[in-house]
Amino acid sequence: MNLIAESINIMSKTLGPAMRERNPGPIQEMAKAEAEAGADYLDINIGPARRGGDELMKWVVKTVEEVTGLPLSLDTTNPVAMEAGLKTCKTKALINSISLQPDRLEAELPLVSKYNADMIGLLWGTEGMPRDANERCMLAVDLVYKAGEMGIPVESIWIDPIASPISVEINQVKACVEFMSMLGDVAPGCKSTVGLSNISNGTPAHLRPYLNRTYLIMLMRYGLYSAIVDIFDTELVKIARGEMPEIVDLVYRAMDGERPDLKLLSQKEVEYVKTVRVLTGESLYSHSWLKI
Ligand code: THG
């Protein structure tokens, strides 16, 4: 499991201003902390970066590479900024992300070949968000075909089915898990990733880790290759590293519809079982799902 740390983000209350002021300190502290916490990749998200995006991306990449040798995942919708980042990166970069809109494909697929990068293929088509697992499969096949035409091998493509918040749409939450179980058949050799924290967007902050951890286990069951995560969630990192086999087993059994006697479980076990039930749609989600 490859963990991509999500926190170097222009949306962050501390790092956003640091990026705009070209103040390296907070960004380097964050990069070191993410590396220390066990990240395999660091995501650098500078947003749309319409004006001066190339300068900004180049500066952030240099700033981060001064303190860590970890590979970077570069996130911006500005292709000029993306290329500036790719030129600057010392290691093989991951382009985050390339969706299926024709203009995005045209601008960004050539960068994958030119810089021998890896890419996250975001399953977002001309008609927007796919509605279910089957539409995700069709988009994945399409993306792999178009990348292949550009000489990009399947091993370089990390498919992202787009996780959406449980507080918004349970069917999309289920569809991502179902899609993950189908990916190996529809796009053999492809890798996969998911923005795990999306699932808990809109949920009270102290409850987010329960959803993130449980959903990670559910997706890993079907071979999830990597995830963009809050790397400071130590229990989440333990799960990814295979250090919580009993909890993983309990989650699998709950996914299969087993209904253990909650009175016989520890509090932590009960929390995982209840969280599986909301993530599979068996129970209705509300902010008080752990209490019911
Ligand atoms: N797929 C791909 N890339 C992605 C996503 C995805 N990148 C962005 C996002 N989704 C994943 N990254 C984050 C980063 C931060 C948060 C959620 C997802 C987040 N941050 C806190 C908040 O907003 O409350 C704290 C922000 C802060 O530091 O101030 O939730 O799906 N390919």
Q: 6 CA to middle of ligand 1, Å?
A: 6
Calpha distance 232→230 (Å, rounded): 5
Mean pLDDT of the chain: 97
- Regarding the beta carbon of 233 and ligand 1, being less than 6 Å apart is answered no
Name the strands in the sheet holding 226-229, side by side, starting at the edge strand that comes first in the sequence: 191-192, 157-160, 118-122, 94-98, 72-76, 41-47, 2-9, 226-229
Calpha distance 136→196 (Å, rounded): 17
- Regarding the beta carbon of 75 and ligand 1, being less than 6 Å apart is answered yes
CATH code of the domain occupying 2-255: 3.20.20.20
Nearest CA to ligand 1 atom 27: 12
> Residue 292's pLDDT band (boundaries 50, 70, 90)?
confident
Nearest to 183 by CA among 151, 144, 125, 130: 144
Mean pLDDT of 252-274: 96
Q: 51 CA to middle of ligand 1, Å?
A: 22
Phi and psi torsions of 165, nearest 5°:
-60, 135
Nearest CA to ligand 1 atom 12: 6
**Model pLDDT, residue 142:** 97
Mean pLDDT of 170-175: 97
Q: In this structure, which amino acid lies at residue 160?
A: D
Residue to probe by mutation, ligand 1, list 6, 77, 108, 219, most atoms within 8 Å of CB = 6
Q: Taking the CA atoms of 172, 176, 182 and 188 in sequence, report the sign of the dihedral they define.
A: positive
217: its two tokens: 């286990």
Count Cβ atoms below 10 Å from residue 159 Cβ, excluding itself: 26
Q: 264 CA to middle of ligand 1, Å?
A: 36
In tens, the pLDDT along 33-85 reads 999 999 999 999 999 999 999 999 999 999 999 999 999 999 999 999 999 99
205 CA closest ligand 1 atom index = 24
Q: 227 CA to middle of ligand 1, Å?
A: 12
Write down the domain spans for the chain.
2-255
88-106 in b/e form (b: 16+ CB < 10 A) is bbeeebbbbbbbbeeebbe
Nearest CA to ligand 1 atom 19: 197
Nearest CA to ligand 1 atom 16: 197
User: Could you say which DSSP state residue 203 is in?
Assistant: S
Calpha distance 213→240 (Å, rounded): 9
Mean pLDDT of 14-25: 97
Count Cβ atoms below 10 Å from residue 199 Cβ, excluding itself: 26
14 CA closest ligand 1 atom index = 29
**Model pLDDT, residue 205:** 97
> Residue 271's pLDDT band (boundaries 50, 70, 90)?
very high
- Residue owning tokens 């995830």: 227
Determine if the peptide bond prior to 99 is cis (ω within 30°): no
pLDDT at residue 19 is higher than 90: yes
Phi and psi torsions of 283, nearest 5°:
-115, 155
**Which residues, at least 6 apart from 253, have a Cβ–Cβ distance to it below 8 Å?**
260
Q: Where are the beta strands (DSSP E) in the chain?
A: 2-9, 41-47, 72-76, 94-98, 118-122, 157-160, 191-192, 226-229
In tens, the pLDDT along 177-190 reads 999 999 999 999 99
Give the total residue count for the chain. Answer: 292
Nearest CA to ligand 1 atom 11: 195
pLDDT at residue 115 is higher than 90: yes
Calpha distance 193→176 (Å, rounded): 11
- Regarding the beta carbon of 167 and ligand 1, being less than 6 Å apart is answered no
- Regarding the beta carbon of 122 and ligand 1, being less than 6 Å apart is answered yes
- Regarding the beta carbon of 271 and ligand 1, being less than 6 Å apart is answered no
Backbone conformation region of residue 164, classed left if phi is above 0, alpha if psi is from -120 to 50, else beta: beta
The predicted model scores a pTM of 0.97
- Regarding the beta carbon of 34 and ligand 1, being less than 6 Å apart is answered no
Nearest CA to ligand 1 atom 8: 195
Nearest to 5 by CA among 73, 93, 100, 103: 73
